[in-house]
């Protein structure tokens, strides 16, 4: 088993550096069962907002390309993956959770999970939107994305963010990963690939729409002001 720990400042915020480190860890895991969790008392509080605040069109495009690559690699990783959601899993942290095969959330941590990008002024990149469609029940998708709220463990279970919640989440996540790892690796990889083959395959129209209407909002003055408000208590 390979344990990959999201470990970075800002409650394990997803920076360019952390994204690259996780991608490298997945390559090194080479199909071994993977447990994805966060350092300390958080899973990941989302994207690194200081980096987002400094985005230009070019740097935003490059950052989101790295994020897309991480999502694709985690979602299509050939071996079993289990997310141990040991604390807040917000925005990008929630995305990483959804990309795993099985998701276990600690029920007594007071943690929240959700896709709150709309509330911050950030349109979902096409790969993230497709992941949400692939993972979340139809009845919840618009509520999750457009409502942009954060949910406790019990509600997260009801809405399909996670598969199980438990007080002893670490032990349960290990059990689930061990159970999945018992299957023949070749069959597991092949069936996973067939089930997910086109889930995250974005069309040219999706890419063009995001490039024209979505990406500019990531670097807009309104978004920068919103990020400033979120960062101000941390300064």
Buried/exposed code over 127-151 (b: 16+ C-beta within 10 A; e: otherwise): bbbbbbeebbeeeebeebbeebebb
- At residue 145, the 3 state secondary structure works out as helix
Q: Exposure of 85 by Cβ count < 10 A (0-12 exposed, 13-18 middle, 19+ buried)?
A: buried
> Are 192 and 81 spatial neighbours (Cβ–Cβ below 8 Å)?
no
- Annotated catalytic residue within 62, 117, 158, 164: 117
Whether 117 is catalytic is: yes
Which residue has 């919640």 as its token pair?
165
- Chain Cα centroid distance, residue 24: 17
- What are the catalytic residues? 117
């Amino acid at each position: 088993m390979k344990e990959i720990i999201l470990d970075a400042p800002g409650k394990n915020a997803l920076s360019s550096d952390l994204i690259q480190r996780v991608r490298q860890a997945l390559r090194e895991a080479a199909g071994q069962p993977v447990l994805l969790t966060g350092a300390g008392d958080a899973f990941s509080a989302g994207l690194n907002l200081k980096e987002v605040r400094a985005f230009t069109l070019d740097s935003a495009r490059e950052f989101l390309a790295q994020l897309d690559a991480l999502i694709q690699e985690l979602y299509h990783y050939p071996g079993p993956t289990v997310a141990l959601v040991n604390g807040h899993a917000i925005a990008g942290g929630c995305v990483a959770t959804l990309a795993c095969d099985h998701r276990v959330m600690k029920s007594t941590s007071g943690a929240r999970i959700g896709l709150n990008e709309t509330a911050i002024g950030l349109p979902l990149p096409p790969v993230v939107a497709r992941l949400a469609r692939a993972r979340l029940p139809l009845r919840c998708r618009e509520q999750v994305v457009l409502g942009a709220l954060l949910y406790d463990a019990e509600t997260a279970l009801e809405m399909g963010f996670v598969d199980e919640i438990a007080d002893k989440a670490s032990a349960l996540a290990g059990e689930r990963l061990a159970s999945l790892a018992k299957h023949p690796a070749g069959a597991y990889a092949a069936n996973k690939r067939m089930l997910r083959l086109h889930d995250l395959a974005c069309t040219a129209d999706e890419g063009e729409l995001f490039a024209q209407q979505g990406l500019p909002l990531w670097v807009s003055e309104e978004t920068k002001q919103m990020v400033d408000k979120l960062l101000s208590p941390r300064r």
